[in-house]
Structure 1
């Protein structure tokens, strides 16, 4: 015999009313939820702690000014009906020493080495058959890629200095250092990153017969710029988000020119207490420099 059992209602906090659920029970003692609901009341205008924004000034959803550009990579004429896709995995390097003017001394910290090792473990445990491995020309990216490759075991890692860190585009809103960077070399930086973008970020060619999985170890500004360009988000928005060290950003490109972002800055493979997003403290850098010279 089947019958309904109503669970006792309970009060959930001061903002919630009662929550009720009905279970369907049959002769075999199998349970199934028939109905469950929680009703949340809106705060009243009498709540003195409630912030009341000016309704005339509050922002509204923004629509794209332009439709999707299907020829964004200049390869629309090569479009095929193939269902193969290109997967691009953009990995930021690990934490590194920053208080030096010489690029070859901006090497990974001990924490940066650990982060790269965690990234390598995650990539090999994913069971993905990577088809290409590229690194920038800066020492922190080279070291990160080398540690990752202990797990992936590529015979050769390609290197491209166009993937080096830089200032890709004058951001909006501007960062605290935008004016200094914009003096003189901004156009050169943009041109370089545009070259790298079109070299690596595009739909699969007509000759591709299987899905590809390409790994690129580079830098936060490069990755942020690539994401904005690939998703046709305004390029000056790149500074509005940041990336943890050794985080993984996953972009997918279809033959007809669609772009799908599967994740930006995924850092779930690095333990919470070992994550970092900015440079180490001055004391940490001094300690590591002393240990290296000892």
Structure 2
């Protein structure tokens, strides 16, 4: 091939490249990565177990419960994240916990009855129903899952849900096994944080469970035996 012909071929190639759409080359096409939705599931603080409030209102936090919620608020603040959702159940103990957290975050929580405490049908072997049992619990939790466990349409999202032990354990069971039936095999601490990550394809993973690292050991509480230690006084 003569130099003149070679030069002519190069000119033709350059012309073709100039008019070829950019999307014809995958390496030149920016790859849009969808983000992850992080659900921060927070259980309410320690509450007054002797409170006679009706089940639609729920029981109030004791002084220790408010302190636990304060520790949680400080922890979330240190994350320096923009929280896209901040919601609690309608029950008093969850509302008060969220309100205490909101003071640190400078945010006002909304309320959602889908997050109210209830006992799933898999606890049917209980001799006596709990006072906060709710008809249609599993259906309501399914609705809560469908509402909050959604892939992010864009970048990372951070949602804070302040609710209850049964609700959080059900979410974790559903995330790990595809079913909410394993929830009874877990113990969860008051004012603990559980994190579920929702990937772009809708799949989930449990990134943290019942984390109480923000609460001093002598101020940590569980329903039941918990991790084997309890503070001497649950009210202070």
Relative contact order, higher structure (CA 8 A, sep 6+):
2
Query: 86-95 or 258-267, which moves further after superposition?
Result: 258-267
Contact kept? 2:86, 2:109, Cα under 8 Å: yes
Is the CA contact (8 Å cut-off) linking 1:87 and 1:213 kept in structure 2?
yes
Which residue of structure 1 aligns with residue 161 of structure 2? 216
Matches for 1:248-287 after TM superposition, within 5 Å: 248-278=193-223
1:188 and 2:136 matched = yes
Deviation string, structure 1 residues 35-57 (Cα, Å, up to 9, x no partner) = xxxxxxxxxxxxxxxxxxxxxxx
* Structure 2 match to 1:119: 72
Asked if residue 136 in structure 1 is aligned to residue 89 in structure 2, the reply is yes
TM-aligned CA deviation for residue 273 of structure 1: 0.6
The aligned residue for residue 109 of structure 2 is 157
Change (3 A) 1:106 1:126: same
Which residue is 1:95 aligned to? 46
- The answer to which structure has the higher helix fraction is 2
Which secondary structure state, in structure 2, belongs to the residue aligned with residue 203 of structure 1? coil
Say how many residue pairs are matched: 195
Unaligned runs of at least 5 residues, structure 2: 1-31, 225-229
Q: CA contact under 8 A between 2:188 and 2:223: conserved in structure 1?
A: no
- Pick closer, same or farther for the CA change 1:187–1:113 going to 2, 3 Å: closer
8 Å contact from structure 1 (residues 201, 230) kept in 2: no
Aligned to 1:56: none
Q: What is the root-mean-square deviation of aligned Cα atoms in Å? A: 2.5
Q: 1:284 Cα shift?
A: 6.2
The answer as to 2:181 corresponding to 1:236 is yes
TM-score calculated relative to the size of structure 2: 0.75
Q: Could you tell me the TM-score, scaled by structure 1's length?
A: 0.61
* Alignment gaps of 5+ in structure 1: 1-80, 289-294
